[in-house]
Amino acid sequence: MPGYSPELNPDELLNQDVKTNAVGRQRAKTLDELEGNIEQFLIQRQVFPEIVQKYFQKSSVVYAA
């Protein structure tokens, strides 16, 4: 695998999901609020593992499934 290839890394799909849905949709006014938004978002992902499974269905990361 190349030294830096975010498109091949399933973690990057989660990072993008967090940035888009936890940080981007709810603009935090404080650091504590930002941390709370992210924590709440990640807890929701734990409750619905089928969403996380979809990260591994993208053609560029199927190898990791």
Question: Does residue 12 sit within a domain?
Answer: yes
Q: What is the pLDDT of residues 6-65, one digit of tens each?
A: 777 888 888 888 998 888 877 889 999 999 999 999 999 999 989 888 888 888 777 776
Question: Does residue 1 sit within a domain?
Answer: no
- Domain ranges, residue 18: 6-64
What per-residue confidence (pLDDT) applies to 56? 82
Q: How many domains does the chain fold into? A: 1
What per-residue confidence (pLDDT) applies to 21? 87
Cα 13 from Cα 38, distance rounded (Å): 15
What per-residue confidence (pLDDT) applies to 32? 95
Whether 22 and 41 have beta carbons less than 8 Å apart is answered as yes
Question: Does residue 38 sit within a domain?
Answer: yes
What per-residue confidence (pLDDT) applies to 43? 94
Cα 25 from Cα 58, distance rounded (Å): 23
Question: Does residue 48 sit within a domain?
Answer: yes
